[in-house]
């Protein structure tokens, strides 16, 4: 039953600033989970591990790279001499289409087979060209491929996860700029939580959770960029130091639903954010990013899901990463600077 719950409003900035002086917790509206905010811990001495400096320059083509055009991969397959975005099935896929769907066990001991497939998306034939260095047209081609792949895989699988691991610090096994698309017949944990919270909010209020949240954040201290129909912001509940989220200001469940104009706007938003990240510490910025789109199961696309992208960068300082260990693994995520401070620092750097 729909209730007369008022439209969401940002918390009073002055009151929140006072709270930021002390440890406090914030609720993640998308998952229902909580994060501990402990402002000021960035000042503590650090004698732990430091991230190595990335290579200063990469060649435009690396004859030893298994993702570059014309090169031979480990399996013996030869890449075509591709001139734009290139997609192929992962040679070491974590999901397979022919897996048994058998379910075994009961009670505390249950297991089930799961089907799927994994693909690799090379953004460009250039070995040295990240999304930050690509022009808007090049990024637009990547967006179109993401949308096409999502629509195709969604015909067979319930969940399609488009993502990029950028940099060795985030587990990228090859420096050639690329992303991946994993699709499977099961709904993963994060997707299940987000689907449940968005449905609950819609049932209680009659409104779209993320659309309402984005509207409430506009003009506020966590917004980095508001242009061309896209909002780039540090979420109120962000866990990682410089975590961000991209949200369209108009309703859209999946990338394939975006008009040409909104895809062009997204290309500009992605270029801007990638360049801001690189400018923050004057070095290529590692992160994991991914798109959360409406699932493809029966009844999943019920109008409650809003398309959005998460960016999870690990760096806390130029050479120091945030480790999710100890308390974070055993209790709940904890962050060392406020989302408002992170957003301010990202706003202050030039994406040029």
pLDDT above 70 covers a percentage of the chain that reads 89
Going by C-alpha positions, the residue among 262, 227, 261, 230 that lies closest to residue 246 is 230
Spatial neighbors of 86 by CB under 8 A, at least 6 apart, are 69, 79, 80, 121, 122, 125
CB 290 within 8 A of CB 310: yes
Strands (E), the chain: 24-27, 34-37, 86-89, 103-106, 109-112, 116-122, 159-166, 178-184, 223-227, 230-233, 244-248, 287-292, 308-312, 334-335
Question: What pLDDT score was predicted for residue 169?
Answer: 86
Split at pLDDT 50, 70, 90, the class of 57 is confident
Which listed residue (127, 178, 202, 308) is catalytic?
178
Residues 31, 177: one domain?
no
**Residue 136 or residue 40, greater confidence:** 136
Q: What is the mean predicted confidence (pLDDT) over 243-250? A: 98
Q: Which domain holds residue 33?
A: 13-41+188-348
pLDDT score for 59:
94
Q: Are residues 119 and 206 in the same domain?
A: no
pLDDT (0 to 100) of residue 168: 86
Domain contains 70: no
The terminus-to-terminus CA distance of the chain in angstroms comes to 49
Mean pLDDT over residues 329-340, rounded?
A: 95
Q: What is the pLDDT of residue 17?
A: 67
Q: State how far the Cα of 44 lies from the Cα of 38, in Å rounded to an integer.
A: 12
pLDDT at 230 over 80: yes
On whether both 276 and 318 belong to a single domain, the answer is yes
Q: Is residue 5 part of a domain?
A: no
Q: Please check whether residues 177 and 216 belong to one and the same domain.
A: no
In a domain, 2, yes or no: no
Which of these three, 154, 184, 214, is where a domain ends?
A: 184
CA 234/CA 217 separation, integer angstroms: 10
CA distance 179 to 288: 10
If asked whether residues 34 and 176 sit together in one domain, one would say no
Assess whether 119 and 241 both reside in one domain.
Answer: no
Q: Is the pLDDT of residue 42 over 90?
A: no
| pLDDT exceeds 70 at position 330 | yes
pLDDT at 1: 37
Q: Let me know if 24 is a catalytic residue.
A: no
Do 204 and 331 sit in the same domain of this protein? Answer: yes
Total number of domains constituting the chain: 2
Beta carbons of 133 and 196 less than 8 angstroms apart:
no
The answer to the question of residue 54 being in a domain is no
Tens digits of residue pLDDT in 158-205: 999 999 999 988 888 899 999 999 999 999 999 999 999 999 999 999
Whether residue 166 contacts residue 287, with contact meaning beta carbons closer than 8 Å, is answered with: yes
CATH number at residue 168: 3.30.428.10
Q: If pLDDT is split at 50, 70 and 90, which confidence band does 2 have?
A: very low
Residue 3's pLDDT is 38
Examine residue 8 and state whether it is found in any structural domain, yes or no. no
Q: Tell me the per-residue pLDDT of 66-122, one tens digit each, with 9 for 90 and over.
A: 999 999 999 999 999 999 999 999 999 999 999 988 999 999 999 999 999 999 999
> Do residues 196 and 274 both lie within one domain?
yes
Q: Are residues 27 and 97 in the same domain?
A: no
**Contacts of residue 183, Cβ cutoff 8 Å, sequence gap at least 6:** 95, 116, 117, 118, 153, 154, 156, 157, 159, 160, 161
> What pLDDT is recorded for position 352?
80
Decide which of 128, 159, 184 is a domain's last residue. 184
Same domain, 235 and 151: no
Residues 173 and 260 in one domain: no
Query: Over 80: is that where the pLDDT of 49 sits?
Result: no
Residues 224 and 254 in one domain: yes
Over range 202-221, report the average pLDDT: 97
Given 133, 168, 184, which residue is the final one in a domain?
184
The rounded distance, in Å, linking the Cα atoms of 37 and 178 is 33
């Amino acid at each position: 039953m729909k209730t007369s719950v008022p439209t969401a409003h940002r918390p009073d900035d002055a009151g929140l600033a006072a709270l930021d002086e002390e440890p406090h917790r914030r609720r993640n509206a998308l998952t229902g989970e909580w994060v501990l905010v402990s402002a000021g811990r960035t000042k503590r001495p650090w004698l732990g591990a430091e991230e190595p400096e990335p290579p200063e320059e990469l060649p435009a083509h690396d004859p030893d790279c298994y993702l570059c055009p014309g090169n031979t991969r480990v399996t013996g397959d030869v890449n075509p001499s591709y001139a734009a975005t290139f997609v192929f099935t992962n040679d070491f896929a974590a999901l397979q289409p022919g897996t048994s769907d058998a379910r075994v066990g009961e009670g505390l001991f249950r297991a089930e087979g799961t089907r799927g497939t994994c693909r690799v998306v090379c953004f460009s034939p250039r070995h040295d060209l990240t999304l930050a260095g690509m022009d808007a047209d090049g990024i637009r081609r990547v967006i179109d491929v993401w949308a096409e792949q999502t629509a195709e895989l969604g015909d067979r699988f319930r969940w399609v996860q488009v993502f990029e691991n950028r940099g060795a610090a985030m587990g990228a096994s090859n420096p050639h700029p690329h992303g991946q698309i994993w699709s499977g017949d099961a709904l993963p944990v994060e997707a299940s939580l987000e689907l449940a919270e968005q449905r609950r909010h819609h049932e209680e209020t009659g409104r779209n959770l993320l659309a309402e949240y984005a509207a409430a954040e506009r003009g506020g201290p966590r917004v980095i960029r508001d242009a061309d129909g896209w909002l780039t912001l540090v979420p109120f509940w962000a866990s990682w130091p410089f975590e961000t989220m991209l949200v369209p200001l108009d309703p859209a469940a999946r990338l394939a639903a975006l008009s040409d104009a909104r895809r062009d706007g997204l290309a500009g938003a992605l270029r801007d954010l990638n360049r801001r990240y690189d400018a923050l510490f004057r070095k290529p910025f590692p992160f994991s990013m991914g798109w959360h789109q409406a699932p493809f199961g029966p009844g999943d696309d019920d109008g409650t899901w809003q398309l959005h992208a998460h960016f999870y960068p690990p760096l806390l300082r130029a050479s120091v990463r945030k480790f999710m260990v100890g308390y974070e693994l055993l209790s709940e995520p904890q962050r060392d600077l406020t989302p408002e401070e992170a957003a301010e620092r990202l706003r202050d750097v030039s994406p040029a």
